[in-house]
A and B are shown apart, each in its own frame.
Chain A
C-alpha cells in the first residue's frame, strides 16, 4: 500500500507518543520503588511500619521457600474461580428469569437496588454465624458482591434487545424460548462477556473480604496475619502478590473477552 509522507509522519508520531506513555508509566514505578527503598534505608521512612521493596522481595522469597506462599495463592485462586463461575452462571440464569417474568423484575427491583447499595461487609458476622468460619462463608461473601452486579448488567443487556427483531421472530411464530435462544442471548453476547471483567474484580474484592473475616489460608489471611503480628513485610508481600494476581486474572478475562467477541 502506498503511503503519503504526511500519513507516515502521523503514524510515526502516534508510535512515538505510545512509547512515551509506556516509558513514563515504567518510570513512575521505578522512581516510586527507588525512592521508597532509599527513604526506608536512610530511616526517613520507618521500615518497620512502611517496609521496603527489598524487604518485600525477601519476604516473598522466604514464604515461597517455606512452601506456604503457593498454598495461600492456590487457596485464594480456588475461591476466586469458584465464586466467579457460580456468580456468572447464577447471574445469567436469574437475569433470564427476570427478563421472562417482567412482573417479578418489577417486584424485585427495589430489593436488588437495596442489596446493590448495601456495604456487604456489614453482613460478614451474620455470614459467619450462618455458614461457619470456612470456605463456604468466603464464597457466599464473594457472591453477595458479584452476583447482583452480574444480574443487573446481564438483565440490562437483555432489555436492550431490538423490539423490531422481537416482532419479526413473533411473526414467525417464535416461542419465548426461541426468542431467547435465537435473539436475546446472542444479541447480548457483548454485555455478557463485558460483565465477566466486572465480575472478576468484584469476586476478588469479595474473596479477600471473606478471607479477612474467616480464613486460615489465602492471601487475605496472609495480610490479616501480618497485621496481627505487626509484620508489615508480610502485609506488603500479601498486597504485592494480590496486585500481581488481580492483574493476571484481569488480563486472562480480557483475553477471553477478545476471543469471545471476535465475531461481534
Chain B
C-alpha cells in the first residue's frame, strides 16, 4: 500500500496570557491508502488539534505534513452531525458541493445515489429534526462523501450518540467507508471503538501529546461489533487501556 499522508515532526503550541501551551509535540506518522487509523487519547490531549491542522482549519507551529498529491480533497466530520436545521436533508447533503462550487448535475446525482444506497431516499425533503440520531449521522457522512474525498478525517463523530446508537452508527459508517474504500483517520477516546474499527491505533500521551504507541490491528471478522467478542480484541483493549491509564487522574 502507498502512503497517502506523511506527517513529520508536527508541533502545535497555543499562546495565552498565562504562557505557551504545547498541545502537540513531535508527531511523525505515515498513513497508507485505504487504511483506517484511529488516534486515541484522553480528553484534551490534542487529538482534535491534530485533525484541525490536517483539515487545514488550523496551522501547525512547526513540522510538516504532506499528502500524496497537491489537490487532495479532505472530508472532515465533526463531533456532532452539524446539520443545518433550516435546510432539507438533500440541501444539507449537497452543502459542501455548493460551498466548493462543485454542485454539478453529475455530483448532485452522486449525492442522490448515496442517499438512496444508505436508505435515506424517502427523507430527502424532510428536515433534520425529523430524523433519528443515526440517520442524521449518515447524512453528515454523505455530505462529506459528496466531495469524493481522498482522505476522511472523523473527529469523534459518534460522541453525541447514546451507547447503542453509537455501536450501530459506527458499524454503518465503517461499512460505508469500507465500501467506498476511503482512507480514514478517526479520532476517538473510546478504546473499543478504536480497536474494532481500525487497521491501526495510535495512542497519544496527554498534553503535550506525542505518540506513545502504535498498534497494528488484525481482528478475525469483518464486522466491528462481532470483533468486540474476539480474544484479540480483548488483548489489544487491555494494552491500550494500560497505555492511557497513567493519564487518568
Q: Which residues of A contact B (CB under 8 A)?
A: 162, 164-165, 167-174, 178, 182-183, 186-187, 189, 263-264
Contacts and interface: CB of A to CB of B under 8 A. Distances in A.
A165 B96 contact: no
Nearest to B77: A168
B82 A164 contact: yes
A168 B86 contact: no
Contacts of B99: 169, 172-174, 178, 182
B84 A167 contact: no
Main secondary structure of the interface of A (DSSP, over half): helix
B57 A167 contact: yes
Contact of A189 (B52, B76, B86): B86
B1 interface: no
A172 B96 contact: yes
Nearest to B48: A167
A165 B95 CA distance: 12
Contacts of A178: 99
A162 B76 contact: no
Interface string B73-109: 0111011101011100000000110111000000000
A183 B84 contact: yes
30 contacts: A162-B82, A164-B78, A164-B79, A164-B80, A164-B82, A167-B52, A167-B55, A167-B57, A167-B78, A168-B76, A170-B55, A170-B56, A171-B55, A171-B56, A171-B74, A171-B76, A172-B95, A172-B147, A173-B100, A174-B99, A178-B99, A182-B84, A182-B98, A182-B99, A187-B84, A187-B86, A189-B86, A263-B86, A264-B85, A264-B86
Given A167-B78, A182-B95, 11 more contacts: A165-B84, A168-B76, A170-B55, A171-B57, A171-B74, A172-B100, A173-B99, A178-B99, A182-B84, A182-B99, A186-B84
A27 B101 CA distance: 62
Nearest to B55: A171
Interface in B10-34: none
A174 B57 CA distance: 11
Nearest to B78: A164
A109 to B, nearest CB: 19
